[in-house]
Structure 1
């Protein structure tokens, strides 16, 4: 099947959908200055994930892993949501979703660890409430961060998880960078838990670990009649299987990505280009900020 790029046809499918799930990958955050993982200039072309993104790697060399993730944390701290994040956040607001999909429920599943999807949703909720001129709470769709957040830490001793936006987390990480590993840092000088003194690790899901919220996400996917694959290579399980499951039970798939892949033949729609440009244009025909003002 040759996927369509007809925006009007896609909007009609969107309008008629009842259960929409968006599966987000690194391409969504590219316009915010966050490097992708698997593209030609992605992180895993320069680094071996087996040495940086597995529990075994952390056990073998926590210094190297922490130096790498310290740099990723700094990138996340400096980044701001781009129009793709904001467009997805708008879909999470039921009052605004009804303008383009009046009968639909929407769920956002992100593979990204930068926290920008959550930040965009938080800011969108604040703007929406301010526009309505009241202090009422704003109902929002579920956001599942299946791989955790790089700004979280997890204690290897007491399992305490918390968000920590401090940078550096310890003085020894102050001179670390993404491209240089630097000298080995002794374990006692790496980030430690303030509650039990145990060694902290980055609070992300590594290879060989089970992603968060799998049961809830599969339940959403099993009922979805439209899956939006946005900025993802669809090479990492289990997220890679979600679109196929939607197609298998009769749903449709729309792909938003920079380049076409061999796996796109199963999709109904394909929109190529930077997600920060294509997603808001295809969904709303304008900038997300305008769509928000329309919903005020």
Structure 2
């Protein structure tokens, strides 16, 4: 069974109604990203940061997986499919995908500010005073700017086993995630779906300049030929 490795970014969930990471002006929901997505921002104003992610978490319960999420889940009937996502939502899982690696954390989890390995499920608002078992403040289980990406080594190892690489809805400009495509073996067929692609077609890379839901239909047609 061939192994399809899928790298997904914000464009994957955009058609479900989840906003992409940054607007054109560089702001995220009206905030400078360093205010709400860095250890320094959390230290300076933890209440702002917690409420920012509370709003993101609440939004998750108002959206549903789109046709592209479901199409990837359906592929598991014919292929081994591993999804490596930069997204912190759970839409891949809700669509039925069984193997999902979250590079940048998960909105529906929280972790201790004392022990990064103390991670728990969290589906309600997170506020000051919510403490881990050792008495330390809990924080969103999100990889912020300036923090290590703990799942990157696992993601690299997965990419090294890919028979086919599919990239959907990511700018390919956020590192280390953007480097993952370089870990597939030489000549691995690679497909890039994005309405504003930052890669050019080549002998190895096929670019489909469309949103995720329509682009994945065209890709599946190519796959079946």
Q: Which TM bucket (shorter chain)?
A: 0.7 to 0.9
- Provide the secondary structure at the position in 2 that maps to 1:154: strand
Q: Which residue of 2 aligns with 1:19?
A: 3
Q: Which residue of 2 aligns with 1:268?
A: 205
Contact 1:154 1:201 in 2 (8 A): yes
- Provide the secondary structure at the position in 2 that maps to 1:29: helix
Which structure carries more helix by proportion?
A: 1
What CA distance in whole angstroms lies between the structure 1 residues aligned with 2:88 and 2:27?
A: 14
Decide which of 195, 199, 221 is 1:258's aligned counterpart.
195
- Do structure 1's residue 108 and structure 2's residue 75 form an aligned pair? no
Contact 1:255 1:264 in 2 (8 A): no
Highest RCO, 1 vs 2 (Cα 8 Å, sep ≥ 6)? 1
Q: Which residue of 2 aligns with 1:97?
A: 78
Q: Which runs of 5+ in 1 are unaligned?
A: 1-16, 99-104, 123-139, 171-189, 286-296
C-alpha RMSD over aligned residues: 2.5
What CA distance in whole angstroms lies between the structure 2 residues aligned with 1:197 and 1:205?
A: 22
From the superposition, tell whether residues 88 and 272 of structure 1 become closer, same or farther in structure 2 (CA, over 3 Å): same
Q: TM-score, normalised by structure 1?
A: 0.67
Q: Which residue of 2 aligns with 1:14?
A: none
List per-residue Cα deviations over 1:30-57 (Å, max 9, x = no partner): 1111000145377548432222111122
> How far did 1:146 drift?
1.4
Q: TM-score, normalised by structure 2?
A: 0.85
Count residues with an aligned counterpart.
220
> How far did 1:212 drift?
3.5
- Do structure 1's residue 161 and structure 2's residue 119 form an aligned pair? yes
Q: Which runs of 5+ in 2 are unaligned?
A: none
List per-residue Cα deviations over 1:34-91 (Å, max 9, x = no partner): 0001453775484322221111221121112112111111111222111111111122
Decide which of 102, 106, 110 is 1:145's aligned counterpart.
102
What CA distance in whole angstroms lies between the structure 2 residues aligned with 1:191 and 1:25?
A: 32
Which structure carries more strand by proportion?
A: 2
From the superposition, tell whether residues 45 and 157 of structure 1 become closer, same or farther in structure 2 (CA, over 3 Å): closer
- Provide the secondary structure at the position in 2 that maps to 1:23: strand
